[in-house]
Structure 1
Amino acid sequence: MRVHILAASLALVLAGCQSNPPVTEIQSTVSSQPAESEAAKLRELVDNYFNENLAMNPLSATMVGVMDYNHLFSAPISAESLAKTAAFERKYLALAKQIDASQLQGQDRLSHEIFLYARQQAVDGLRFPSHLMPFNQMWGVQNFYPMLGSGSSAQPFNSEADYNNFIQRSQGFATYMDSAIAAMREGIQRQVVLPKSLIVKVLPQLQAHIVSNPQDSVFYGPVKMLDSNAQLSPAQKASISEAYNKMIMQVIVPAYQRTYDFMLNEYLPAGRESVGLSALVDGKAWYEHMIAVNTTLPLSADEIHQYGLNEVARIRSEMNKVRQQVGFSGDLQAFFTHLKTDPQFFFSSEEQVIQAYERVKADINSRLPALFEVFPKADYEVKAVEAYRAASSAGASYQQPAPDGSRPGIFYINTHDLKSQPKYLVETLSIHEAAPGHHFQIAIQQEVDALPDFRKYEFYTVFAEGWALYAESLGKELGLFTDPYMWYGRLSDEQLRAMRLVVDTGLHAKGWTREQAIDFMRQNSSMGEADIEAEVERYIAIPGQALSYKIGQRKIRELREQLAAQLGDTFAVRKFHTQVLIDGAMPMPVLEAKLKRWAAGL
């Protein structure tokens, strides 16, 4: 499951939790009495970084509710833009190192630790030519821009200026796509290219936006909204409609067509047969960097691989207990087949899927006060993944709410293949993607008044995904998973995350083939064949990301157990959860140090 951290969409307090205080009324429990000179320097530094970064990344600005750059797109990929980014990160790393950390306390201390860590990691990553593979089937502007331009995302479409902003931004999009083609051509020369198995998945994503009628385009959505717009005159609506049709057919469609033609005729033949990052020049170091980025811990591929193998074996044993509990007479592999094929485990329509998740949303929300004292103000909606990206998207994902409260969060369910959404996953998947998983963590992070802006939108995969998987582990404490099949669903999801440790490291550090990875997952789960293939191709596309779930969960659970043992009868799990969530996402070593200070009363 992925989090769209840059795709924003906060309005209502969660159903069942209305009587609880909003997060903005709860101040961080970390004391804040820093030496003012160093603290002031730090605050100015991180604010300058945040604002300068938004100016350089106008799409990110729109996502976090800063509308000053709604007419601009990201700079094209070029030697100049890459050098500008490198100089920017090196400048702020040097400035962060000049701050006397010994003079900082409380939130300022945390901010410095997080900022310094992030800038060092960014500088460390500059050596790797990721710009030569600017998108894949899992992420990239080819999928993100249609979401932005659909009329149902962060880009506003209220005034004539709003529409003109997006028309101008689309010129920048077309220029960027041309620069992506140039970067991929350079990648061909330097032998830094996507595997062929991924390129073929990008092609239909591009083709979906090559239309002969503008009304068939996702980008036509804002035009459909004109009829209900009372702010605009008939003449303005007619003018906007004409300009929008021209933009779609003369800017958007040609940009997708050029990219599609290049990828089909030039890039696909040059795609590589290998799949692991280690197959590329400097690939071993590149993957080690991706492990560090996605876990924030000093772990090797070998130790992660072995931990994964151990967890896969443990969870298989738990699954076998469920098989025995429900009285299934066959062995575990036969039980897997039964769970994949028996119609009783599947929905018959998209509507049934959405309704099931809406019901479990209400049930979970009513239980949350038992383990939590802090709740997001923002609500979330359950929606099906849009058709144009469903075929290659994750089974579920979460899109954060708008910081200004204008849009709720979105829990996306992929209903493209109903066999990929078995009924027994409903409880565990809802916990993970929505409450108290991603929705809790990300919405709360945005809403805490005390955090500087850069921390409100900071994203650490190991924190976000680790928290969401840890949240799943709270299901029984919340009184869920009483049905053995729902408990199997929890085990199935945890098994997926355990297999990821094995498969990701296998692909990128141990020379595994795509087929080896698929076979390993087939032998250790009840996942459908199409799901397994999509998962493996996801790991190929974004090395290291899949490691974050189990590694993060293990660290949070480990910290809870350590502090519970240390504090004894004074330990309260609701307070622990507040401490994990209230200061936003951070690297695991920073979280550990913070929690230990809290436990010590510092």
Structure 2
Amino acid sequence: MKQGTKSHAFSLRLSVLGSALILAFAAPSEAGNLKQTIAANTRADTVQAGKQLNALADYYYKQHARLDPVSATFNGDNRFDDQLTMTIAPKIRAKEVALYREVARRLKAIPRQGLNHTDTVSYDILDYEINAALALENFKDNLLPINHMDSIPVTLANLAGGQSSQPLQTVAQYDIFLRRIAQLPAWIDQAMLNMKEGIGQGIVLPRALVVSAIPQFQKLVTATAESHPYYQPISNMPSSFSAADKARLTKAYAATISDKVIPSLRKLDQFMETDYLAASRSSSGWGALPDGERWYKAWVKYQTTTSLQPEDIHAIGLREVARIQAEFAKLGPQLGYSGDPAGLPGWMAEQAKYKPFTSDAEILDTYKALNTKIKAKLPSLFNVIPKIPLDIRPEPEISRDTASDHYAPPAADGSRPGVFWAVINDPKQYATTEMTTLFLHEGQPGHHFHLALMQEMDVPKFRKFGGNNAFTEGWALYAETLGREMGLFEDPNAYVGHLTDELLRASRLVVDTGLHAKGWTREQTIQYLRATLGYNEADARNATERYMAWPGQALGYKIGSLKIMELRQRATAALGAKFKLSQFNDAILSDGTLPLALLEVKMDKWIAEQQKL
């Protein structure tokens, strides 16, 4: 195929060259006809190349959805809701790698120069995504299938609530979910095999992460099926179900959970509490693993979509921390604080007047009121507004201890809105200080504008549901800054919340690289976060252990937002009076998620086009 494509491209160049020579000597009427013929041939080649690309993109998405059905569920693709992701199994992992290599080979055979704008963007994104995945191929992340931030057993518990991505409204959907949880024992067996292999190779979790994960699995080992989180569908069964269906489903769920699921989860819990805990490591960072230094650098490149090295990112983080703390020095006196600027976040956390809530409902109502206020201001900052609504919901109880407030994108078919999940553990300790900036990030115009608009674009599905962390989180962090234009930060309490969250993202550059590249310990990182962010010990510990579990993930926020701000400053300087913030914001989002290098090329072209207007 590759040789045939090269031959076609060579023949096309000869054809164009010959046509040019004929045009030079042809009569005017003949030349006009020839120009039309050449233009028609060019359009035909563009259409053909586009068809090839979109067929490949569709193939890639469908095959990847089969290999990762749980992610497909979260994407609103419900074809595989009765299956579990088994890419931790060697045979399935090999199929995944083979898919990446096949797509890379077929992509190279498509003439990029013959594509229209949308298809060119799809080509470049697919090329980046495949190569990024292959760059991680040789690292054995499958030997670390479980951590306290991410595991299939806990994911299933969240899905069982019926408020997440798996629909549980019909009898057929109940049967589908039952078949999914029935496959959990096979996943657990494979996960344990992998972890045992990891023990033999020295690829194991730090002890602190094992200790944090164990309580989650203990909660999943219940005395009865009826008290198990996976039994929630039966507890919440629609009254519209027939008596026969209710009886059948109740019996089937109880039998599957008591006979298959609980014994398997008990075996996993015992393994984690004994063998795995005993084999866990005392070190904290990825760099302590075999080939860990190179492994972490691969994660950094994957998560930031840049060539920045850990040392570069560490230095950027330190500079940003110093800059933001200088802002605290100006803001503190307005709030009645006169101490060390670095102590302002901690002081704010102790002020009772910023903790007015007594119930979950009060907090959710405050977010809903904030959403209404923001919606009224968005048209001045964007010309393109998502059609899909945003809902506000409390985080399910089982994951509240370890979850952070987050956003879930809407279903592709519009059956489920975008959702802002608020994590409320103790309403009386929930402060108003960071609510505004948090909602701008996780709600709108942060993740909701980016990901909901993606659902409305006529682009391949891998673009709608794929992406990279640097753009996704970079945009959301940039969206927080738009609170200034909305007038939301005129309240000093809300503004210090914004700066505190920005300081958090800057601190992440320091501690993530510190942990994984500079040999920082868990305790050293906890102390840095307490001193820099004013965190109590529990918050600093939870944050530290997140970074330990997800190397490099925390880097994308600040690196991405700094790039977008750099592009905005570049556009402002180049366009002067022609610069319109709403047009800039629309342009950033107009192609969906891009690697930062492609985003920069795109926006430089946009600036040049705006200058000509």
- Whether TM-score is above 0.5 comes out as yes
Letter aligned with residue 162 of structure 1: Q
Aligned to 2:121: 110
Identity of aligned residues (%): 37
Q: Distance in 1 between matches of 2:249 and 2:332?
A: 60
**Contact kept in structure 2, 1:292 and 1:299, CA below 8 Å:** yes
Aligned to 2:146: 135
Q: Structure 1 residues 574-583 or 267-276, which shifts more? A: 574-583
**Contact kept in structure 2, 1:380 and 1:408, CA below 8 Å:** yes
Q: Would you say 1:555 and 2:566 are equivalent positions?
A: no
Q: Is the partner of 1:404 in helix, strand or coil? A: coil
Q: Distance in 2 between matches of 1:282 and 1:91?
A: 27
**Contact kept in structure 2, 1:33 and 1:105, CA below 8 Å:** no
* Residue pairs, 1:9-408, within 5 angstroms: 35-75=46-86, 77-228=88-239, 230=240, 232-332=241-341, 335-346=344-355, 347-394=357-404, 396-408=405-417
Judged with a 3 Å threshold, the aligned counterparts in structure 2 of structure 1 residues 352 and 81 are, in CA distance, closer, same or farther, namely same
Aligned residues: 567
Q: Distance in 2 between matches of 1:262 and 1:601?
A: 61
Q: Would you say 1:519 and 2:527 are equivalent positions?
A: yes
For the pair shown, the structure with the greater C-alpha radius of gyration is 2
Q: Is the partner of 2:467 in helix, strand or coil? A: coil
- Output the aligned Cα RMSD: 1.8
Q: Structure 1 residues 132-141 or 247-256, which shifts more? A: 247-256
Judged with a 3 Å threshold, the aligned counterparts in structure 2 of structure 1 residues 371 and 480 are, in CA distance, closer, same or farther, namely same
Which of 482, 498, 506 pairs up with 1:498? Answer: 506
State the Cα deviation string for residues 192-212 of structure 1 (Å, max 9, x = none). 000000011111111111112
**Contact kept in structure 1, 2:147 and 2:209, CA below 8 Å:** yes
**Contact kept in structure 2, 1:76 and 1:175, CA below 8 Å:** no
Aligned to 1:21: none
Which of 444, 448, 452 pairs up with 1:443? Answer: 452
Q: Distance in 2 between matches of 1:33 and 1:409?
A: 39
State the Cα deviation string for residues 468-510 of structure 1 (Å, max 9, x = none). 1000111111111111111100100000000000000000000
Q: Distance in 2 between matches of 1:329 and 1:563?
A: 38
**Contact kept in structure 1, 2:156 and 2:230, CA below 8 Å:** no
C-alpha deviation, 1:104, in angstroms: 1.9
C-alpha deviation, 1:66, in angstroms: 2.8
Q: Distance in 2 between matches of 1:277 and 1:451?
A: 36
Q: Distance in 2 between matches of 1:85 and 1:371?
A: 41
Q: Structure 1 residues 456-465 or 341-350, which shifts more? A: 341-350
Q: Would you say 1:432 and 2:447 are equivalent positions?
A: no
Instruction: Tell me: higher relative CO, structure 1 or 2? Use CA pairs within 8 A at least 6 residues apart.
Output: 1
Q: Distance in 2 between matches of 1:336 and 1:588?
A: 31
Q: Distance in 2 between matches of 1:103 and 1:145?
A: 45
Gaps of 5+ in 1: 1-31
C-alpha deviation, 1:60, in angstroms: 2.5
Judged with a 3 Å threshold, the aligned counterparts in structure 2 of structure 1 residues 302 and 227 are, in CA distance, closer, same or farther, namely closer
Judged with a 3 Å threshold, the aligned counterparts in structure 2 of structure 1 residues 215 and 380 are, in CA distance, closer, same or farther, namely farther
Q: Structure 1 residues 34-43 or 89-98, which shifts more? A: 34-43
Q: Distance in 1 between matches of 2:399 and 2:329?
A: 36
Judged with a 3 Å threshold, the aligned counterparts in structure 2 of structure 1 residues 524 and 76 are, in CA distance, closer, same or farther, namely closer
Q: Distance in 2 between matches of 1:330 and 1:79?
A: 56
TM-score w.r.t. structure 2 length? 0.89
TM-score w.r.t. structure 1 length? 0.91
**Contact kept in structure 2, 1:420 and 1:528, CA below 8 Å:** no
Q: Distance in 1 between matches of 2:384 and 2:323?
A: 33
State the Cα deviation string for residues 382-441 of structure 1 (Å, max 9, x = none). 2222221111112x1111121212222221121114576321111111101101001111
Aligned to 1:26: none
Aligned to 1:535: 543
C-alpha deviation, 1:334, in angstroms: 5.4
Letter aligned with residue 96 of structure 2: T
Q: Distance in 1 between matches of 2:571 and 2:336?
A: 40
Q: Distance in 2 between matches of 1:241 and 1:413?
A: 31
Q: Distance in 2 between matches of 1:60 and 1:530?
A: 31
State the Cα deviation string for residues 108-134 of structure 1 (Å, max 9, x = none). 100000000000011111010000001
**Contact kept in structure 2, 1:34 and 1:108, CA below 8 Å:** no
**Contact kept in structure 2, 1:291 and 1:547, CA below 8 Å:** yes
State the Cα deviation string for residues 434-472 of structure 1 (Å, max 9, x = none). 010011111111122x21111111121111100010001
C-alpha deviation, 1:235, in angstroms: 1.0
Q: Structure 1 residues 540-549 or 96-105, which shifts more? A: 96-105
Q: Is the partner of 1:398 in helix, strand or coil? A: strand
**Contact kept in structure 2, 1:308 and 1:499, CA below 8 Å:** yes
State the Cα deviation string for residues 257-307 of structure 1 (Å, max 9, x = none). 111111111100100000111111111111111111111011011111011
Q: Structure 1 residues 462-471 or 81-90, which shifts more? A: 81-90
**Contact kept in structure 1, 2:67 and 2:92, CA below 8 Å:** no
Which of 445, 470, 473 pairs up with 1:462? Answer: 470
**Contact kept in structure 1, 2:345 and 2:500, CA below 8 Å:** no
